[in-house]
Amino acid sequence: MSFRRGTFKNFAISIIQVITIICQVLTEEPRFAEPIPNVTVALGRDASLPCVVEHLGTYKVAWIHIDRQMILTIHRHVITRLARFSVSHDNAMTWLLHVSQVQQEDRGYYMCQVNTNPMISQVGYLQVVVPPNILDDESTQSAVAVRENQNISLVCKADGFPTPKIMWRREDGQPISVDRRKKVTVYEGDSLSLQRISRTEMGAYLCIATNAVPPSVSKRIIVDVEFSPMIWVPNQLVGAPSGTDVTVDCHTEAHPRAISYWVYDNVMVLPTKKYAVTTEENSYRAHMKLTVRNLQSGDFGNYRCISKNSLGETEGSIRLYEIPMPSTSPKATEMKSTANKESVRRANVSRAVQREPTERPSVVRAQLDRAPERDAAHHVYRAPHPQHASGTTHHRCWQRPYFVIIFLVQMEFLI
């Protein structure tokens, strides 16, 4: 009997503990399991904000846009009339607020709220970034003109989020002159000031707006520097023979584009079989060429290259004269100098010396027969020595021993 009473008592205690635990679970208040993350999304894309709630029970979750003071959703129902907002639940603890095709006005703080007593809530931030956009109405037009040595300012405005940074470059890669004291490849700022602009600064300038949100955008501004024509003549005096072709040329610079032509004898030169007229243009520069074919006496004279535009005109002058054509080719004239004669005499002496071993003995023998009493040294052959030849003394020195030896050999034969 006592055993039954103890068993029943333990069973009752267990039942009470289970009921207590169930009551504690049923009465536990909701809480947020993790914070709402800050979300960054580009303009026009879709975004989602999560809210994770534990022990929600019979309580309900609501989403509110704080900046607009607008209730968006309550539990599974969408309250706002904006169709871009919706809500979903994963049948666990996460409630997702969806924003499709995000607009700039969607940027701001969003609150996830649970209707407990007192209410609990947490906040997350939706950041909407916007690619840069150049404002044409507030920027310099696409083409501007300025007189040379005048000042001009180029303006470029852009919006976007974050605020875009403006950079300037020249399309041809040339540096930009800043305050006439330094040159830079890239200039930062929404306004570019060009002081006392020159013709070398003419061209396309690129305004580039970027804020780390792709894509970057740019605007192309053409700067025309206007000036009156200028002419350079490489050769102002040109000569050529009759019957040949000759080409004369001029270099011009002008902007706006100039009208260029040639004048001879106060008459404009037009392209014909007689004349060939060409003009090579590069930006504000031009190279004028005039070819006159088969020159005749009436083609020689003064030719003028003329260039004119709306700001003025200028001209260059070239005189074409005749070079006489030689009738016959000149004959080559042989020039003989004393030095050449002396060289010939030396050569003859050398050849005489080389023949001495075969011819000299008979000559010496005849001389000895005629004058046997004379000293042998008087019969030595001496080559004539030039007055101005170099090395004459050295020549005599080696000739004397050489002929003494020949004489002694001949005497040996006579004895």
Sign of the four-CA dihedral 333, 338, 342, 348: positive
Report the half-sphere exposure of 294 (CA within 13 A, side-chain side).
3
Top pLDDT among 27 and 361 is at 27
34's CB contacts (< 8 A; 6+ apart) are 52
- Express as a percent the part of the chain with pLDDT over 70: 72
Give the SS3 label for residue 228: strand
pLDDT at 357 exceeding the cut of 80: no
CB 315 within 8 A of CB 229: no
CB 168 within 8 A of CB 190: no
User: Which pLDDT value is given to residue 91?
Assistant: 79
User: Which pLDDT value is given to residue 331?
Assistant: 54
Instruction: Round to whole Å and give the CA distance between 107 and 71.
Output: 15
User: Which pLDDT value is given to residue 7?
Assistant: 66
pLDDT tier, 394 (very low <50, low <70, confident <90, very high otherwise): very low
Q: Is the peptide bond before 131 cis (omega within 30 degrees of 0)?
A: no
Instruction: Round to whole Å and give the CA distance between 69 and 116.
Output: 20
pLDDT at 397 exceeding the cut of 60: no
Instruction: Round to whole Å and give the CA distance between 55 and 92.
Output: 10
Instruction: Round to whole Å and give the CA distance between 31 and 197.
Output: 69
Q: Which residues pair with 74 in a beta bridge?
A: 62, 77
User: Which pLDDT value is given to residue 178?
Assistant: 84
Instruction: Round to whole Å and give the CA distance between 72 and 61.
Output: 11
User: Which pLDDT value is given to residue 26?
Assistant: 53
Helix, strand, coil shares of the chain, percent, nearest 5, are: 25, 40, 35
Q: What is the mean pLDDT of residues 97-105?
A: 96
pLDDT at 217 exceeding the cut of 70: yes
pLDDT tier, 219 (very low <50, low <70, confident <90, very high otherwise): very high
Range scoring the smallest mean pLDDT among 120-124, 205-209, 331-335? 331-335
pLDDT at 248 exceeding the cut of 70: yes
pLDDT at 101 exceeding the cut of 80: yes
User: Which pLDDT value is given to residue 181?
Assistant: 76
State which H helix or E strand residue 276 sits in: strand 275-282
Rounded to the nearest integer, the mean pLDDT of the chain is: 81
Give the SS3 label for residue 162: coil
User: Which pLDDT value is given to residue 179?
Assistant: 76
CB 287 within 8 A of CB 251: yes
Residue 104: count of CB within 10 angstroms of its CB: 10
Instruction: Round to whole Å and give the CA distance between 123 and 113.
Output: 9
Q: What is the mean pLDDT of residues 363-391?
A: 39
CB 221 within 8 A of CB 204: yes
User: Which pLDDT value is given to residue 28?
Assistant: 79
Q: What Cα–Cα distance (Å) separates residue 185 from each residue in 170, 171, 260, 268?
A: 8, 11, 35, 46
Report the half-sphere exposure of 178 (CA within 13 A, side-chain side).
14
- Structure tokens given for 382: 């001496």
pLDDT tier, 92 (very low <50, low <70, confident <90, very high otherwise): confident
Instruction: Round to whole Å and give the CA distance between 327 and 65.
Output: 106
pLDDT tier, 335 (very low <50, low <70, confident <90, very high otherwise): very low
